Every structure is written in structure tokens, then in C-alpha cells.
Structure 1
Amino acid sequence: MQNSPSGHSSLPSFLAFVRNLRPCGLLKPYIQVRHGQGIHNVEGDKNYKAYLSPDYFDAHLTPLGWQQVDNLRKHVHASGLSKTIDLVITSPLLRTIQTAVGVFGGEGYADKADVLPLMVANAGNSGRAAISSLNCPPIIAVEHCREHLGVHPCDKRRNISDYQFLFPAIDFSPIENDEDVLWKANIRETKEEVAARGLKFMNWLWTRKEKEIAIVTHSGFLFHTLTLFGNDCHPLVKKEICKHFANCELRSMVIVDRSMAGSDDSTTNYPGKIPSGLDLPSDVAVEKKLEKEEPDSGFT
């Protein structure tokens, strides 16, 4: 693999939206999903300081967030995506794990000694029945696709042993430490650090043998990672690649060879935010807060 002209990535640099995942020339198709509405999205939209509150530690989905998950699940099955996905990768935070199992998991769980549930009943105050691990792709949790690390308690994960109790059939083995050693109370990752971590994730993703992978992650992580791609595309395409995700929005993407010219919208994309609700990402809230705090320079 060669470096791109921008110097950002050792991966092929043309990231395109495709209508059909044609086998000729395609290198790595994958699906990106932002989690459903979390309790921190609602309160943070009202008041930025809510992102700093320990009350929203490892924020779980709201009832509306679960409705968004249900609607995305219907779309995934109606569009046929549920039959093509070989692996689901989730960020190890409660809201992303809940979204992953709700969208891509099995049906209702019937207690069987030889089958573990993907999610136990009422996991994370969900009020939901247990979810089966039968007839669905495997789900693994990976640290590299987490949201911005540090400062915001909503982005701090709980111990892996706690998750293993709530989500018995999810594979947490890629995560080395039980406790969250990456999140720091007084240091928040820069945008550049998030993007660099995202690039590591993409390189790791490149090593996977599965043909089609779904990734359930976060708005900030997706936005800053995708800014590294599309620099050789038309500005409108670059803008489309990098725009923020709505809650439970799904985009089908593929990294393709430069000789491929396809740039059509995917027929499996899903607009998310159904039902509509507050979904301001914490990193956007930070930017808005900083803009308000900047002194007037006298220029217009």
C-alpha cells in the first residue's frame, strides 16, 4: 500500500459512496453507524455543562434513542444489509453497545443453557427484554473507535467485567484493561489525536478478513477520522464524506482503488434521527462554546 498525496494515510485515499458493492476493484466495504440518542445528547443540547456532569457517566440510550434503534433495525432488515454483514465492531461504551445489539443482534432471547444472550434484560436501564445471539453476526468491542477521550464523564467507559455481565455474547477480548485507563479527568484529546487514533483503527480494520463490516461508533470519532479522506475528491464529495452523523444514521462506504470512478449514493444509507430528537455531539458543543467565548476582533 502506498502513501496518499496528502500524507495522511497508507490506505487508498479515495473514499467513495457507492450504489452497488460490485466485487470488481473494491477493497474494503463497510458500514458506519452513529449510536442512538443518549441521555447526554439531550441534556448537553440544553446546557454544555451537562457534558461535565458525572450524572451522565457512560451515557445510555434514551427511550427515543431506542425507538431510533428499532427503526434502523427495520431498515437494515428491509434493505438486505442484515444478510450481508459478516462482523459488527462497536465502541465499548454503553450507548454504542446498546445500539449495536439492538440494530444487528438476534430476536428475543429464549433461555437456553448452551446459548448466551447478546444483552440481558434491562441492561443499562433500557427497560428492554434480553436479546439473542442467534442468527446474527458476531459483535466485538474495540477501544480505537471510542469517542473523544477525557474530561466528559459521558465518554468514560465502565469496567469490561461489568459489560461482560450485561452483554455476555459480545467479544471484549481485544480490550486489554478491565478499567478505563485511556480516559483522563483533566485532559481531553485534541481533534488531531482523535483523527490519528481513527487512522490506527482504519489500518487495523484493513487487516480483518471479513468482507463486510459494520462499525457502531460516535459522531466526533467519525467526523475527525473521515476528514483524513477525500482530499483528492471534489469539494462537494469531501464535504459529504465529512459531515456530522445524526443519531442512528447509517452510511454504507467503501475504500476503493483510484481507478474506480463510482461516487453514487448508496441505496442502503439511512438518514437517522427517526423519531427526531436532540442529538448535538459534545465536540460540536465545545466548538460552539469556544466561538461564543472568543472576543470581538473588530473585523466583520
Structure 2
Amino acid sequence: MDYSAGSSLFPLHRCKTIHLVRHAQGIHNVEGDKNYKAYMNPDYFDAHLTPLGWQQVDNLRKHVRDSGLINTIDLVIASPLMRTLQTTVGVFGGEGYTDKTDVLPLMVANAGNSYRAAISSLNSPPIVTVELCREHLGVHPCDRRRSVSEYQFLFPAVDFSLLDSDEDTWWKANVRETKEELAARGMKFLNWYEFVIIRNF
């Protein structure tokens, strides 16, 4: 069917547009690209962004604002990992945070060794975290998350209420999620999105 003329099953005002954004470069990516075994390094626990990663965030932030896309975003859903949270608040957060405002920051200064100023939640879409959209689970320390209480301190205006436990119960030290399990989890996330977000947001 040709939709180029503007006809579709649903009018555009009743449709949602989903934008998928991968996290920017993390410290684990640099060595992991050279040697896959580097992903086993415990120093990369809940890996944060590299300086290049933050440059990628700044570039995407500029595009999102210059294109006007930021004005069309109702909600941002993020995986609860340091690199995804840094990417998310860096791209979709408000302008410079000051302590004189009555709103919480999306990110406190230097969260996750970022050497970045605090990021405001003013004029930012709401940001929620969901376990189902996490990366491949298990074995690799970079894919293990911190406790929710740690994240709440570092990212005060991000909503962590949908996470089922303070500690990471999804990541296992000796069992790597299979590709089939990962695909099934991805489908659960899409079903959750459809029934919870699209119908209620």
C-alpha cells in the first residue's frame, strides 16, 4: 500500500513516534573493541562514558534541539546503567542547573566520573528507567547496575520507581543471557511499552 499521499490506517495525531538511541561510548567499549576479554575486567563495573562519549552526547543534544525534536518528546525511557543514564540526561536534560532553582537536577555534578556540571530537569521530558531494556545481562561487570539508592543520589530527577529492587537481581556473575532470552526480553519490553505507555501516556 502506498502511504506517500498521506493516507494511513491511523491519523498521525493518534500515532506515537519512537526514537531509539544507543548510549554513547563507554570506557568498556574502548578496550573491548580491541580485545573482547576486556569486558570481563571488574574495573569496568557499570561503565561510565569516555570523553569521546560525552562529545557524542553533546553532538546529539545539539541536533535534538536544533531540529526542534526536543519539543515533540513526551517521555524518555532509559536502561538503568551509568552510561545510558549519562547519555539520556546529557541529550534530553535542561540547560545549566543552579542551586537557586526549586527543581531537582537530572544529574549531579561529576556523576560517574563525568567531570561535568550538574544538569537541570527544567524543560526536560520526564525520564523513567526500565530493567527490560537493559543490555545483554550477566558475566560482564560493565553490564551490572548500581543500587537504585546510589542512582537516586546521582540522578535525583530521574524516575527509578519501576525497578523492582534496590540491588541488581537481573545480572548473574556466572550466567550470560542467551540471545534467545535477550530477544524474548526485548519483546517483553515492546509489549510493556505498548500496553502501559501508549495506552496511558
Provide TM-score, normalisation by structure 2.
0.91
| Residue 52 of structure 2 corresponds to residue 37 of structure 1 | no
Work out which of the residue numbers 21, 24, 34 in structure 1 matches 2:11: 24
Deviation per CA, 1:105-127, whole angstroms, max 9, x where unpaired?
A: 10110113631100000000000
Distance 2:27 2:100 in 1: 33
Provide TM-score, normalisation by structure 1.
0.61
Match in the other structure for 2:170: 182
* Residues matched between the structures, number: 193
Distance 1:29 1:77 in 2: 17
Distance 1:69 1:113 in 2: 24
* 3-state SS in 2 of match to 1:184: coil
Q: Which runs of 4+ in 1 moved over 3 A?
A: 25-28, 208-211
Contact map agreement 1:87 1:210 (CA 8 A) in 2: no
Which structure's relative contact order is higher, taking Cα pairs within 8 Å and 6+ residues apart? 1
* Displacement of 1:207: 2.2
Work out which of the residue numbers 142, 146, 164 in structure 2 matches 1:158: 146
| Residue 77 of structure 2 corresponds to residue 94 of structure 1 | no
Work out which of the residue numbers 45, 64, 70 in structure 1 matches 2:52: 64
Q: Provide the aligned C-alpha RMSD in A.
A: 2.0
Q: Where in structure 1 are there 5+ consecutive unaligned residues?
A: 1-17, 214-300
Work out which of the residue numbers 170, 190, 196 in structure 1 matches 2:184: 196
Contact map agreement 1:86 1:210 (CA 8 A) in 2: no
Contact map agreement 1:105 1:132 (CA 8 A) in 2: yes
| Residue 62 of structure 2 corresponds to residue 74 of structure 1 | yes
After superposition, residues 40-51 of structure 1 pair within 5 angstroms as: 40-51=28-39
Contact map agreement 2:109 2:116 (CA 8 A) in 1: yes
The structure with the larger Rg is 1
Q: Where in structure 2 are there 5+ consecutive unaligned residues?
A: none
After superposition, residues 1-300 of structure 1 pair within 5 angstroms as: 24=11, 27-112=15-100, 114-209=102-197
| More helix by percentage | 2
Residue type at the aligned position of 1:56: Y
Distance 2:27 2:66 in 1: 28
Relative to 1, partners in 2 of residues 1:209 and 1:182: Cα closer, same or farther, differing over 3 Å?
closer
* 3-state SS in 2 of match to 1:118: strand
Distance 2:126 2:172 in 1: 31
Deviation per CA, 1:170-198, whole angstroms, max 9, x where unpaired?
A: 00000010000110011000111011001
